[in-house]
Chains A and B, each alone.
Chain A
Amino acid sequence: GQQLNQSPQSMFIQEGEDVSMNCTSSSIFNTWLWYKQDPGEGPVLLIALYKAGELTSNGRLTAQFGITRKDSFLNISASIPSDVGIYFCAGQRYSGGYQKVTFGTGTKLQVIP
């Protein structure tokens, strides 16, 4: 099955720095989602985006739904050690009678205290 192009694959940053990651696709999606996964745990939903051009914030997180509906980015401001984890984007669209969800390959974030 298709996977989204997510970049970067991994990042090492200093505590306090801002982080940016993005996802692109050749397909159009109706919804973009961003998840965070800690080691050995299930992904936790961070932000959901429903309209093209939408910019949504959740604390230090900001995400945008691209105008073309084929891309999204996630920014984390003033990173802290607990931001460590793997971040996944996911695009959703209704296809063939069900809600088809396509996931990115993940961005592994390491924060150096």
Chain B
Amino acid sequence: DGGITQSPKYLFRKEGQNVTLSCEQNLNHDAMYWYRQDPGQGLRLIYYSQIVNDFQKGDIAEGYSVSREKKESFPLTVTSAQKNPTAFYLCASSIGVAGELFFGEGSRLTVL
């Protein structure tokens, strides 16, 4: 079945460590996105990518980095520069610039 796979689902890290969250899609979608969700809040855009080897900052990109070396993969690195990294991270993709977003199941990062 086609879909978006995020891993790991749960991740615990010590303060000061970089962590990388994986996002893979087999929907043949061109665009991919990373969102952050905090309790009681909506989704906020971290980074997005419309095509391979290109990505743009979203509303809250500071302390995060991404790469898009393959169409199906869009990993997110949460760096030690991110001041408040504990959150639920959601990856999404869309067929193109006008398509609806489809989401993965999310990765919950807890920094101790």
Which residues in A have some Cβ–Cβ distance to B below 8 Å? 1, 3-4, 6, 30-31, 33, 35, 40-45, 48, 88, 90, 92, 94, 97-99, 101, 103-106
Q: Which residues of chain B are near A94, meaning CB under 8 Å?
A: 97-98
Interface residues on B, range: 20 to 34
Interface SS, A side: strand
Pairwise interchain contact B41-A105, C-beta atoms closer than 8 A: yes
Known: A98-B56, A98-B97, A99-B94. A41 touches B106 (CB 8 A): yes
- A and B contact pairs by CB, cutoff 8 A, 20 listed: A1-B58, A1-B60, A30-B98, A31-B98, A41-B105, A41-B106, A42-B4, A44-B103, A45-B100, A88-B42, A92-B100, A97-B50, A98-B31, A98-B97, A99-B94, A99-B98, A103-B42, A103-B43, A104-B42, A106-B41
Complex CA–CA separation, A4 to B44 (angstroms): 12
Which residues in B have some Cβ–Cβ distance to A below 8 Å? 4, 6, 31, 33, 40-45, 48, 50, 56, 58-60, 88, 90, 92, 94, 96-106, 108
